Amino acid sequence: ALLYAVHLGNRPLPPSDQLAFAGKILSNLHYLEHLVSDMLSFARGGSFRADDVDVSRLLTDVRDAVEAQLLRHNCVLEITDEAPHTTLRGNRAALLGALQNLVINAIQACAAGDCARDGGGAPCRLRLNARTVHEARGTFAELQVADNGPGIPEALLERIFEPFFTTRQDGTGLGLAIVQAIVNAHEGTVVVDSAAGRGTAVTLRLPLTAGTLRALEGTGTSTPALSGGWAYGRGRRAAG
């Protein structure tokens, strides 16, 4: 960013070059902002204030937060809300940040795999789904981000949540580590289902509020959880 700023200040430039350098400066500043934000979130270690978080509103907030990235990469985000009137006990800003990280990772994976380029591959399609599921240890909200990108090779699956591990030149390697820290702080789990050539689905399972649990007990509307994928949560990792 400093280099481009020096070019702008030290020599007369045509308007087109001025715009190009200004764009480079802005892009680099956004990257630095993202890097600092990731570092601060990781340093906090997943300590957050808990509130009641409306799942439907959370989905809307995610859509609004990633709209610019979707347009930039010509991606489509399909949202399915099967958990209306459902609330989580957690921190809205932290959960929004975790889901935003997952969606942006999916967008970048599709872009790297030529999903969204003109004339190349299938259109970039992402899915953000919410529902309630029942498993042996209780009933949870399930939030899933899925894409039709190139997928993750099996050899890398065990490392994707390691701090500072990244396969992108401009990646911080903290995005998924932060997602795991946030989910752990909410006493939830992360399940990753991916394979090279068939896309990736990342599923968060998070505890519900007592009021939502009572309402679900009266209606019996939760869905049995599906097994499969790599599960991460509360310091443990196991293949499903």
Per-residue pLDDT tens over the stretch 85-112: 899 988 888 888 889 889 988 998 887 6
Burial 206-232 (b: 16+ CB within 10 A, else e): bbbbeebbebbeeeeebeebeeebbbb
Amino acid 77: pLDDT: 94
pTM of the model: 0.70
Highest mean pLDDT among 20-24, 124-128, 216-220, 221-225: 124-128
Q: Closest Cα partner for 233 from 194, 202, 204?
A: 204
Cα–Cα dist 15/25, whole Å? 15
Residues 6+ apart with CB under 8 A from 81: 55, 56, 59, 130
Cα–Cα dist 108/116, whole Å? 10
At 85, which amino acid appears? H
Q: What is the DSSP letter of 107?
A: H
**Res 42 pLDDT > 60:** no
**Res 73 pLDDT > 70:** yes
Q: For all residues of the chain together, what is the average pLDDT?
A: 75
Cα–Cα dist 77/1, whole Å? 32
Q: Phi then psi for 131, rounded to 5 degrees?
A: -160, 175
Cα–Cα dist 63/111, whole Å? 18
Amino acid 187: pLDDT: 87
Are 228 and 177 a contacting pair, CB within 8 Å? no
Are 115 and 193 a contacting pair, CB within 8 Å? no
